[in-house]
Amino acid sequence: MINTKQGVWLLGILGFIMVILIGILIFVPAKPKIEPIKTGIIITSPKSNEEVSLPIKITGYVNGDGWSGFEGQVGTVELLDGNGQLITRGILAATTEWTTLPTNFETTLNFATPKTEGGTLVFKNENASGMPDKDRSFFVAIKFSKNKTIQVGVFFGNQSLSSSSAQDECQRVYRSYRYVKETPAVAQAAINELLKGPTDAEMLAGFFTSIPKGSVGKVIRIVDGQAWVDFNETTESGGGSCSMASRVAQIEETLKQFPTVTSVKLYINGRTGDIFQP
C-alpha cells in the first residue's frame, strides 16, 4: 500500500521528469533531416514547362551517375519541336573544372521559332567509352514564346570553306544565320549577334571569329547608304594584320547585307583613321 506522502512524492518526481522532457523537446534542436545528394544531371535553367524566348541559354551541372566531364564538355543537348523533329543541337560546355564533380555547364541555342507550342530538350551524357550501356539521357519539356522573330546574317571565318592558297583569305568571311526578336534596329541586332561569336552548332560547322571576346559596337547612324559604327578598344586589341583584316571584313559584310547599307565607317571610341592596325 502506498500512503499519501509516498503518492505525493511519486507524483512530484513524475512531474519533475515531465518538465525535463518538455524542456528537452523545446530547447534541444531536432536533428536535421539529411537529404540524399542528387546525382546525374541537374538543369537550373530553363525549368520544366517554362516559356522560353530566343536565344535559349541553358545552365546546370552534372554530379555523377554516368554524367561527368570530358575534354571541357559534359554532353550535348538537342531541341525537338512538338512533333519530335530536330530543330538544333548544342554542346554542354563546362564552366568549371571538368575533372571535378559537380561540374557546371552552359550553352546557348539559337533557332527559328517553331510552329508547335512546345518542345523538348534532350540531354545526352558525354560517353567517352562509346559503350551503349553507359549512355544516359534526360528530358525537359519547354514552351515556346509567341514573340515574333526575324532572321539576320552574321559573317565569320570558316575553316571548312576557306582555302589557304587564296590571296584574300584573311578577308574571306561566310554567312551564318541567327534569329532575334523583331526590332526596327535590325542592323544593331546583327552587330550584337556578330559580337557574341559562333554558337556551338556554328563551331561544329567550322565557323570562327577574329573579333575578341568583350567587344562592343554601336551603330551610330545610317545616312545615304553609309553605316557609322563605334566600337570599344577591345575590338581592335591583339592579333596581327590578317586578324585585323578579318575583323573588318566580318563587320562590313554583316552590315552590307542590308539594302540600306553600301559602305561602312568604323570608329574606336570616336577615333578613326588609325584603327584596326596590328
Q: Tell me: do 139 and 157 sit in the same domain.
A: no
Single out the residue in 109, 144, 179 at which a domain terminates: 144
Q: Are residues 155 and 245 in the same domain?
A: yes
Q: What is the largest CA-CA distance in the chain?
A: 117
Does residue 16 lie in a domain region? no
Mean pLDDT of 53-70: 93
Residue 32 falls inside a structural domain: no
pLDDT given at position 54? 79
- Residue 63 and residue 96 share a domain: yes
Q: Which has the higher per-residue pLDDT, 15 or 274?
A: 274
Please identify, among 144, 161, 194, the residue that sits at the C-terminal boundary of a domain: 144
Show the domain range for 186.
149-268
pLDDT in tens, 90-141: 999 999 999 999 999 999 998 888 889 999 999 999 998 889 999 999 999 9
Same domain, 107 and 172: no
- What average pLDDT does the chain have? 88
Answer yes or no: do 98 and 121 share one domain: yes
For residues 173 and 117, membership in a common domain is answered with no
Q: How many domains does the chain have?
A: 2
Residues 219 and 258 in one domain: yes
Q: What is the pLDDT of residue 34?
A: 45
Do residue 190 and residue 264 come from a single domain? yes
Answer yes or no: is 277 within a domain.
no
Residues 183 and 210 in one domain: yes
Its pTM stands at: 0.70
Please check whether residues 123 and 158 belong to one and the same domain.
no
Do 86 and 101 reside in the same domain of the chain? yes
Given pLDDT bands bounded at 50, 70 and 90, which one contains residue 278?
A: confident
Residues 155 and 264 both lie in one domain: yes
**pLDDT digit string, tens, across residues 130-182:** 899 999 999 999 999 888 889 999 999 998 887 665 557 899 999 999 999 89
- From residue 213, alpha-carbon distances to 118, 177, 235 in Å are 33, 20, 8
pLDDT per position as a tens digit, 171-218: 999 999 999 989 999 999 999 999 999 987 888 889 999 999 999 999
Of 121, 144, 167, the position where a domain reaches its end is 144
Q: What is the pLDDT of residue 44?
A: 97
Instruction: Note whether residue 175 is domain-resident.
Output: yes
| Domain-embedded: residue 60 | yes
Q: Which three cell numbers stand for residue 14?
A: 513524475
Residue 138 sits in a domain whose CATH number is 2.60.40.10
Give the closest residue to 168 by CA, choosing from 264, 248, 236, 239: 248
